Structure 1
Amino acid sequence: MLGDPLTLPCGATLPNRIAKAAMTEGMATPDGRPTPELERLYGIWSDGGAGLLLTGNIIVDKDHLERPGNVVIDREPDADMAARLKSWAEAGTRGGNHLWAQISHGGRQTQKLVNPHPKSSSDVALSLPGGQFGKPTPLTKDEIADLVRRWAVASKACMDAGFTGVQVHAAHGYLVSQFLSPRVNRRDDEYGGSLENRARFLLEIVRAVREAVGPQFPISVKLNSADFQKGGFAFEDSLQVVEWLEEASVDLIEISGGTYEQPKLMGVEGMEAEEKQNVAPSTAAREAYFVDFAKAMQDEVGVPLMVTGGFRTRAAIQQALDIGAADVIGLGRPLCVLPDAPRQLLEGREALPRYEDGLDLIPDWLGFLKRLQMMKAINGFAGIYWFYQQLWLLGHEGRVDEHFPVFKAFRLVDARNKSIMKARG
């Protein structure tokens, strides 16, 4: 049942089976420090009833942000940073829930306004129009070792501040995912080629984090079920990596999918046809994106799994738990507008609004534009900016605005991103 506790392999217990999935907030200072607005946002979510809150990307390299306004922990925190992290953790756990820090690196998905020369597994550039992303430079082995160390430093800093777990972001086309993908990783050293080599970076991170935080602190990994791209990370690869992660003492694996080029995670159409995966359909309700993949994994491994993406009804959530497809259900966008959605579901609410319906940048009378592949993507990402604006309102004013215009949200979020980067210098 939704309200049942879950004891993880490390011994920690989640009070229920609902998690607030990681969503990028963009509310840190220009130099990457948590703010009172971030505390307010997570305090509201902590009061909302979820057993687990996952933060948005906390970045281990200030030159490789996922977006302007990310929190950055790329060294041992100074006194001010430690105090800010502690205040954030206190706000985010005041409801008795867990708060886990999602730790990440943008890699080649770092926008040009942040870094025109990002680092990646190899020099394969994103195949997206608009010129927003620069051609990456392959990381050296010394740089890889330094990043492994930074993941451990950031994890220890979060544990010391009062966070109750960490999540290594190895999905959605960010740096660790870039190493896992044979489409992006063209290396010919021990970090490229075979799946064992491509997974080496991730497994080294997990080992370093475990050494830093000890055996009783939860470690999670967010992993693509597949990239859904031709020549990319496939489901069979993902299943093998999950088995290795289980052996490496990971406590919870979140199953997701897609990249910026194929943004299945966002419900946005990509610029190329989706590569189908060899996974049998389950009997789960079809509203959830990755249930079938998680069910196939649960048949092979024992590590607890979390599934995020598309859940809107209590029946579908409960069915995913009942059929053994997931141990934890992640909710994202609904909590941008209904921050106490977990509590409402636990108390019997049957369905959550699908706020993304109707968030169109392009009006209906220009419907022919919506049929163009590029415009479909632009329209979808404009809707995502609307959710970013709701988070900004929650953090700054403690409220939401369901009627906020999509185009205005798009302009405001874009302007704030540019302002943050200007303030960074």
Structure 2
Amino acid sequence: MSHLAESFKIRNTTFKNRIIKGAMSEALANTAGQPNHLHFGLYEAWAKGGLGCAITGNVMVDFRAKNEPGVVVAETERDLAQLTQWAELGKKHGMVQLVQLSHPGRQCPKGLNRETVAPSAVPFSPMLATTFGTPRELREDEIFDIIQRFATAAKLCEKAGFEGVQLHGAHGYLISQFLSPLTNKRQDQWGGSNENRMRFLLEVYKAVRTATSGDFIISVKLNSADFQRGGISEQDVIDVFKAVDAAGIDMIEVSGGTYEAPAMAGAKEDKRKASTIAREAYFLDFAANIRQEVKCALMVTGGFRTVTGMNAALDSGACDFVGIARPFAVEVDLADRLLAGQDVRYGVDKIKTGIPMIDKMAIMEIIWYAAQFKSIGEGKQPNPKLSPLKVFFKYLKGNLTAVIKGQVNSRKSA
């Protein structure tokens, strides 16, 4: 029997199989950050396709801190009806749904928000400095406010009927920024030692756990490394994993990279050994090592392309769930096909516009897929041959419009 088809229970929720759609940015919300029929159409298509669990794209906990146009924001019960409808779609088809809660910190395009905040006022690398401005350092009262916002959003998600949430602590977002010595230069209780740098994550977890019931699943996405010189050390990473496991986290998704070093998108040159590449997943070796240190469920996302590779990973005990992201953008019925023993049909190569400056960034690995999501949400078939250049210029136009609207609204409220 295929390990992929086996069920798995976390708290009182049973996952009908071991396939999880990893979080990908949908960019389908309106300017007010509200979910809509496009989200419903997209997630129902995946649910009908046999998926055991779907982790949503970024859902922001603060409207003042959006990472991109079209992102969903969960602050109040304003959109409870829409969120409830979204959650019910999963239940209807037996698909568990975890809402990925996030704060972008410094990773906000210039002009999108009134200001950008982060643990420390650390600028981006020269290549990205034209897109992302230098953030303002957070005051301690603001740190406590953001912690509470995570808890408020999680409570809202539970009320809507979602089975759990995932705290986004990877890819250079705010939690990840607190963890990394590259972006956290603070000298107070939130910075300095690894114990202090992980304090924000642990306090967010505690607040979310307190705000929700004992049946609610809380997971976290963490980097195995940030792949930058001077970044978080391997031992510090291990200590973070052990700390959240000891605190009671239900599941950890293993990932890696940031906007400045986007290993999560496979954008870096693959220098792994042939034996490692044969195991497919980008972060499986790290997961195998960390498996000896933690008791919670582990999910590995990135690189899986064959049923044999997925079953081997599960059989090894390195992970409990196989996370697949990008292929689901062009194969909505992928879960059913995998369970039938068929491999991923579209390997999905790196998305390139032909413009070197753009292609060095991870942005196309986000927006090209978002364009596919819109088509699926509208009931259309995805297009694996969609022009990246066309998608990029449409994205620029949308970004510019959002920035202009944001500036106009800021002036009106000033």
* 1:349-396 deviations in Å (ceiling 9; x for gaps): 034321225x4322xxxxxx86xxx46505x64354322211121113
Match of 1:350 in 2: 343
> What corresponds to 1:129 in structure 2?
127
Q: Matched residues in 1 for 2:6 and 2:35: separation?
A: 32
Which one-letter code corresponds to 1:6 in the other structure?
F
Identity percentage of aligned residues: 41
Give the distance between the partners of 1:381 and 1:221, measured in 2 at CA.
23
Task: Decide which of 108, 111, 114 is 1:113's aligned counterpart.
Answer: 111
- Match of 2:77, SS state, is coil
Q: Does 1:82 align with 2:80?
A: yes
Deviations 1:169-215 (A, max 9, x none): 00000000000001110000000011110000000000010011122
TM-score, structure 2 normalization: 0.92
Residue 323 (structure 2) aligned to one of 330, 336, 339: 330
Question: What's the secondary structure of 2:106's corresponding residue?
Answer: helix
Q: Distance in 2 between matches of 1:173 and 1:388?
A: 20
CA distance in 1, matches of 2:278, 2:297: 21
Contact residue 382 and residue 407 of structure 1 kept, 8 A: no
Q: 1:418: how far off?
A: 3.0
Under a length normalisation based on structure 1, what TM-score does the superposition of the two structures give? Answer: 0.90
Corresponding residue of 1:2? 4
Question: Is contact 2:172-2:258 (8 Å) kept?
Answer: yes
Q: Equivalences for 1:242-257 in 2 at 5 Å?
A: 242-257=241-256
Aligned match of 1:65: 66
Q: Deviations over 1:132-175 (max 9, x none)?
A: 11111111110011111100000000110011110000000000
Which range is displaced more, 396-405 or 164-173? 396-405
1:300 lines up with 2:293 in the alignment = yes
| Residue 341, structure 1, aligned to residue 330, structure 2 | no
Give per-residue Cα distances to partners, 1:53-107, cap 9 Å, x unaligned: 0000000111221211111113x323xx111111121224321110110000010
8 Å contact from structure 1 (residues 117, 135) kept in 2: no
Q: Which structure has the higher relative contact order (CA within 8 Å, separation 6+)? A: 2
Match of 1:185 in 2: 184
Deviations 1:98-132 (A, max 9, x none): 01100000100111131363100101111142511
| Alpha-carbon contact 2:117-2:138 (below 8 Å) kept | yes
**Distance (whole Å) between structure 1 residues aligned to residue 246 and residue 171 of structure 2:** 23
Q: Which residue number corresponds to residue 412 of structure 2?
A: none
Deviates more, 1:386-395 or 1:169-178: 386-395
Residue in 1 aligned with 2:162? 163
Partners of 2:255 and 2:283 within 8 A in 1: yes
Contact 1:284–1:316 under 8 Å retained in 2 = no
Alpha-carbon distance between aligned partners in 2 of 1:128 and 1:27, rounded to the nearest angstrom: 30
* Residues 320 and 326, structure 1, Cα contact 8 Å, conserved in 2: yes
Q: What are the residue-to-residue correspondences of 1:21-420 with 2, within 5 Å? A: 21-74=22-75, 76-78=76-78, 81-115=79-113, 117-129=115-127, 131-269=130-268, 285-356=278-349, 359-362=351-354, 374=357, 376-378=359-361, 381-382=363-364, 384-420=366-402
Unaligned runs of 5+ in 2: 410-414
Secondary structure, aligned partner of 1:2: helix
Instruction: Report how many residues are paired.
Output: 404
Q: Give me the whole-angstrom Cα distance separating, in 2, the residues matched to 1:187 and 1:106.
A: 18
Are the counterparts in 1 of residues 62 and 103 from structure 2 also a CA contact under 8 Å?
yes
User: What is the rounded CA distance, in whole Å, between the counterparts of 2:238 and 2:12 in structure 1?
Assistant: 24
Residues of 2 paired with 1:376 and 1:403: CA distance?
17
Q: C-alpha distance in 2, partners of 1:318/1:355?
A: 21
Give, in angstroms, the shift of residue 236 of structure 1: 1.8
| Whole-angstrom CA distance in 2 between matches of 1:109 and 1:149 | 20
Q: Is the 8 A contact 1:116 1:133 kept in 2?
A: no
> In angstroms, what is the RMSD of aligned CA positions?
2.1
Report the Cα offset of residue 321 of structure 1.
0.6
